[in-house]
Amino acid sequence: MSSQGRIAAVSGAGGPMGRAVIDRLVAGGIRGVALTDISSHRLDAAQSALPRDLLVSATRADITDQDQARAFADTALAELGQVDLLVNLVGGIRSAQLYTPFLEIDAAQWRSTLDLNLMGTIHLSQAFAPGMIARGWGRIVNVSSIVFGGEAGQADYAAAKAAVASLTRSMAEELAPHVTVNCVAPGLTRTSITANMPADQAQRLTGKAFHPRMAEPEEVADAIAFFLSEEGARTGRAEDALFSRRAYERGMGADERGGQRRYVREDVHPGRGVMVRRIEAAGHSSDLAAQLAEAEKGSFDPAKAPVQIRKTDARSVSKYRAAKAEAADRGVPLEIVADD
């Protein structure tokens, strides 16, 4: 996966995930990177680990604050000239307890969780996207979570991560065709916080993945690096980094390739002909990026793809008639698909 000559910006750069993403991008050939982290110590450590020939801009900032986020972006653009790739990694749970019953979450915790997981992503995306649009090329990757479909005891966190996934789709629509926006939704990932998590809590969360263990930061970084690469020309999707049972249970069709069973759904964006394959693997692969890249090589003609309409939209007579007419005009089937 190549990001040759590109310049990246990474929030949360000093954490395990940030370090892993930067390593992948350096291996892919980036020529510069802008780093930010709320911790000066972590930021300095991340910067000192970078190759000496790499262009670097490092700014300590709390990106949940719009002014600090803008200051980071302004400094990065002034020192590096441009940013082509944006990775919005900042997120997490600030509460002292991992699980808080819904009725006990106060207004301050709601605001704090939404700021940490959603607002920082918004602030940096609004700061860097205009330059990408002006140059006609850009990649943005947001980070959600496997719990974005809902999780008892984490209503605030699940709601914030669901908002990130929804935001991703909206951004993808508005920033197309030159800027792609995608979202990676990892399962429980090994960090300094989760490494000390009580066993029963870890088991509860890893049980949502096909492979019942924590993900390593490098595995999630593989997925992120793919969406940032030249090969990652899909947009508007939320992908599990350790694949969730929830996705499998939606009943996707099976595709046998190379002896490994994968679950694939193909979507074509009407009007732009963008083909997307979402792979939900029935087993864990240590190299998600390789899986995605391989799937992209499959033969697929967007012009022959069926017209799809969601169940919810099919209840609207006007929307159903429009979809049926489009299918007839193109000479392809009309498919009613389940809502995500």
Number of domains in the chain: 2
Q: Does a structural domain hold residue 96? A: yes
Which of 222, 246, 270 corresponds to the end of one domain? 246
Task: Domain of residue 220: give its range.
Answer: 7-246
Residue 263 designated active-site: no
What are the tokens at 174?
């508005």
Q: Does a structural domain hold residue 315? A: yes
Q: Does a structural domain hold residue 229? A: yes
202 and 311 together in one domain: no
114 and 238 together in one domain: yes
* Catalytically annotated residue among 99, 157, 248, 263: 157
Per-residue pLDDT at 193: 58
Which of 200, 215, 246 corresponds to the end of one domain? 246
Q: Does a structural domain hold residue 267? A: no
Q: Does a structural domain hold residue 301? A: no
The pLDDT tens digits along the chain (340 residues) read 578 899 999 999 999 999 999 999 999 999 999 999 999 999 999 999 999 999 999 999 999 999 999 999 999 999 999 999 999 999 988 766 678 899 999 999 999 999 999 999 999 999 999 999 999 999 999 998 877 677 777 899 999 999 999 999 899 999 988 899 998 887 666 665 555 555 666 555 555 544 455 667 888 888 899 889 877 655 555 554 433 333 333 322 223 223 232 333 333 333 333 333 333 333 333 344 454 455 455 544 555 667 778 777 777 777 778 888 888 887 878 878 766 5
What are the tokens at 36?
């930010």
Q: Does a structural domain hold residue 181? A: yes
Q: Does a structural domain hold residue 258? A: no
Q: Does a structural domain hold residue 279? A: no
What are the tokens at 170?
């909206």
239 and 125 together in one domain: yes
327 and 217 together in one domain: no
261-304 residue pLDDT tens: 233 333 333 333 333 333 333 333 334 445 445 545 554 455 56
241 and 317 together in one domain: no
240 and 313 together in one domain: no
What are the tokens at 305?
């793809």
Which of 227, 246, 265 corresponds to the end of one domain? 246
